[in-house]
Each structure stands twice: as structure tokens, then as C-alpha cells.
Amino acid sequence: MDTIRDEEKALHIVMFPWLAFGHMIPYLELAKLIAQKGHKVSYVSTPRNIQRLPKLPPNVAPLIKFVNLPLPKVDNLPENAEATTDIPYDVVPYLKNAFDKLEKPFTHFLETSNAGWIFHDFANFWIAPTASQLGIKCAFFSIFTAPTMGFLGPVSVILGDEPGRTKPEDFTVAPPWVPFQTTVAYRYFEIIKTADILSDKILGTSDLHRYGLSIQNSDFILIRGCTEFEPEWFQVIQNIHQKTVLPAGQLPNTEFDSGHENDSWPRIKEWLDKQPHGTVVYVAFGSEAKPSQEEVNEIALGLEKSNLPFFWVLKVRRGPTDKVVLQLPEGFEERTKGRGVVCTDWVPQMKILGHMAVGGFLTHAGWTSVVEAVQHEKPLVLLTYLSDQGINARVLEEKKMGYSVPRDERDGSFTSDSVAHSIRLIVVEEEGMIYRENIKNMKDLFVNIERQDKYVNNLLSHLTSLLKH
């Protein structure tokens, strides 16, 4: 652990991410890096989420304090549902409703916290005014990448103060505030699936509105990403928001192995050990994305047609109240027995991606999964579902790090043949060599200890200097 110099005062930073593991985990990774420098972090979430977070390494555990805020009960939110992974997609607005009711208990915590800074997410846009009254500064820590933030545009457009996008097609082209040629934009079917970020008929505050206010009321913007990987997008954000914008680094996963081996890993490893080197397709769509039954059928038949070994983590439902339970096509498991594994439980993704047998990753393009793939040099086959995944996919396509499964532009449908072709291209075909090479070439930009350390030092210097003003 780094020690703080005598003339420096230890910072106390409160972190409060949105209740999705794709948000909570990067926040925790940054908390660990800050604690390594001798600073104190209060990490705020709900009791069940905190229990499910990875264990802290002993060297930082004394400096990271978990603050449990019980989630208030609200209508239509099932018992014990504390994260997006616990509920069907259409129930998530009620989780946001409960999350908003944490404002009062969070304020009570702040009043006695003696904190200097709060790092908050897009959902808790209500933090900044309270923090300001208490003399605490706020940073909007975005786990959305720089291209996503740049594409979404200035606060005036986001909040509707200036004319902006009025129809889905407007999101399928690069916006006027991006001054360079780029293919980074949503495809029509992606923006239609994500249309709920633009309006919230249930509770009145859309995700886009929350996001805009989070930026507007922050002292500066901190972004998961690195300026060497996407410098032009960081410049766009600086231009449109006229605020200090700092990179937090890619925050690669540093899961602490406490010695308590996950029960499933020895069996998974035994199966992987028997597969030819670099041939297994790992298939997983994160904690939130859930394909439709039709999509599951095409993915399954595509894996079968690819003739490659596969390990598929299939989330058959989002929480116990999800009435739509996904099924595999009839006879699929018998026909692929020995060549493929379908797992419906949690698996140690980092260990699987790190295995030599895995040759490619069929993913939803969630950024945490992307970073984990680059950490282990696994090229990507992309099948987007929600939120920022479409923008992430365009960036990966542009940089030839990933190949998107061909889909119908209007409804996003795809065929088993396109799945099989995409997988074989990325894992074994000569034509896909560029993707396999580029993933290896990008690894240093994603997993470089010195660069990550520099970003954290710059961040801490900035926090300290602003507290002096």
C-alpha cells in the first residue's frame, strides 16, 4: 500500500453506484485503487448487494467501509430485489423508484460522514444539491464509456433545452457535435430496444434526464476509460460539457482469491482442459441482458452448426418473479453432448476467459465483459441488447476488436447461420486473424499497471487541489 506524504491529508470519498453489478463492480475496483494509496472510501449500497460483492483484499479492507442502506419497500418491486439482475427488465423502473427513496437515509449518513467527496452514478441525480448544502463536492463517475457520453451530447440537448433528437432515426447517425468521421451510433433496432431511456412513463424521470442532471450538477466528470484508447471522444466530452474530464482507467477486474474456490470451477476446468487449445466459444451476456426465446433458439442452433466446442452461461430468468423462463431447443443438449456445456448458474468468468482452451467470447458488449476479454486476449463476437451496448459494439467494430453478428436492421433478428459464421470467423477462420491480433495489441491499453496508477494519482491530486479552493 502506498503511504500518504506528511503534507497530504487523507481523503474520505463516498461512492454510491446504481444498483446494477455492471456499475457496482467498476466502482469497487476504483475504491480498491484509491484505498491502496491510503485514502478512505465509504462504499454505499443495499445490504444484499454488499453481501454479493467480491471479497476485499486484506491490504485495502481496513480503508473501505461498506455502508448498508436498506432499500425501501415500493409497490410492484418483489421482496429481496435489490439489483437489476433480480428482476425482469420491465420491473427496473420500480427499482429506480425505491432507489430514489434512499435520498433521505443517504443524507443522514452524509451529515455525520465527514466526507470531502462523493462519486455518484447517473441514477442518483438528487445527490448534488444535498451535498452542496453540506459542503461536500461531487464527481459524476460514469461507467459509460467516453464514446457513449460523447454520442449522447451536451446537457442542453439531453434535458431538452435545445433542439435535439426527436425520433429513433436521429440516434442512428453521428451527431453534429462530433467533429470527425465515425460509424459510432445506434442501429435502429438497438435504439428501439433502448427507447425507455428517453422517457419513463411509469415514474416520470427518464434515464437520460437523470444522466443530464448528474453531469450538470457535478464538480467534474470522471469516466471509466483511457485517453490513449479513445482520445478524440474525451475531447468531445470536454468540448460539449466545458468541465474537467478525467479518465479513471479501464479498471480491469482484480478479483481477490480468498482461497475459497468456487464449487463449480474444478468441474469447469476439468472440461476445458480436455478441449483443443483456442477452440472453445465462451457465451455469456452479463447480469442484465436476457435474450428472447427466439434468440436463444438461433444462438443454440448457431453454436451447433459452428462445430466448435462451447461453454454457454444461459440466464434463463431475471430473478424468481420472471415468468418467462428460457428453454433450449428440443434435442439440442443431446446433439451437442460432450462438445458443449450449458450452465444456468453463476460461473467464475475471469477464470474461464483465462483458460487456454477458450478462443473467443460471444458477448453483449457490456464494457466490464469487454475489459475482461481484453485482459485475457479473447476476440469478441458481439450481440447487443440494451443501453450503451450498441455504442460499445460500434467502437469495437471500428477498432477491429470485435465482429457483430449480422442482424435485421429494423427488428434485430438474426439467424443460426449468421451466429455460426460469426463464431467461426472470430475463433478459427484466417479472415478473422485481424480480430485475434488486435485484441492482443490492445491489451496494454487496458491492463497496464503503471498507466492505471498514473490515472489514480492524477485523480487524487485533482480531488485534493479542489478541496483547497
| Residue 160, pLDDT score | 83
Topology of 265-445 in CATH?
Rossmann fold (3.40.50)
Q: 445 or 403, which is more confident?
A: 403
| Residue 203, pLDDT score | 63
* Rounded-to-integer distance, Cα 226 and Cα 456, Å: 12
**pLDDT of 75-120, one tens digit each?**
999 999 999 999 998 899 999 999 999 999 999 999 999 999 999 9
Q: Are 260 and 235 in contact (CB under 8 A)?
A: no
| Residue 428, pLDDT score | 97
Tell which CATH architecture fits domain 12-252+448-468: 3-Layer(aba) Sandwich (3.40)
* Rounded-to-integer distance, Cα 229 and Cα 260, Å: 36
Q: Say whether 290 sits in a helix, a strand or coil.
A: coil
* Rounded-to-integer distance, Cα 142 and Cα 391, Å: 15
Domains 12-252+448-468 and 265-445 in one fold: yes
Q: Are 464 and 393 in contact (CB under 8 A)?
A: no
| Residue 288, pLDDT score | 82
Q: Are 86 and 80 in contact (CB under 8 A)?
A: yes
Report percent pLDDT > 70 for the chain: 94
Which of the four pLDDT bands, split at 50, 70 and 90, describes residue 467? confident
**pLDDT of 271-314, one tens digit each?**
999 999 999 999 999 888 889 999 999 999 999 999 999 999 99
Neighbours of 107 (CB within 10 A): 15
* Rounded-to-integer distance, Cα 169 and Cα 451, Å: 39
The strand pairing partners of 246, in sequence order, are 222
Which of the four pLDDT bands, split at 50, 70 and 90, describes residue 386? confident
* Rounded-to-integer distance, Cα 253 and Cα 115, Å: 26
| Residue 7, pLDDT score | 42
| Residue 161, pLDDT score | 81
**pLDDT of 185-199, one tens digit each?**
999 999 988 766 555
Closest CA to 145 of 457, 373, 380, 394: 394
Which of the four pLDDT bands, split at 50, 70 and 90, describes residue 459? very high
Q: Are 390 and 368 in contact (CB under 8 A)?
A: no
Q: Say whether 120 sits in a helix, a strand or coil.
A: strand
Q: For residue 461, with 0-12 CB atoms within 10 Å meaning exposed, 13-18 middle and 19 or more buried, which class applies?
A: exposed
pLDDT beyond 50 at 362: yes
Mean pLDDT (the chain, rounded): 93
Q: Say whether 124 sits in a helix, a strand or coil.
A: coil
| Residue 224, pLDDT score | 97
| Residue 9, pLDDT score | 83
Amino acid identity for residue 334 in this structure: E
Domain ranges of the chain: 12-252+448-468, 265-445
Neighbours of 171 (CB within 10 A): 22
DSSP-derived letter for residue 70 is: P
**pLDDT of 305-332, one tens digit each?**
999 999 999 999 998 999 999 999 999 9
* Rounded-to-integer distance, Cα 208 and Cα 47, Å: 27
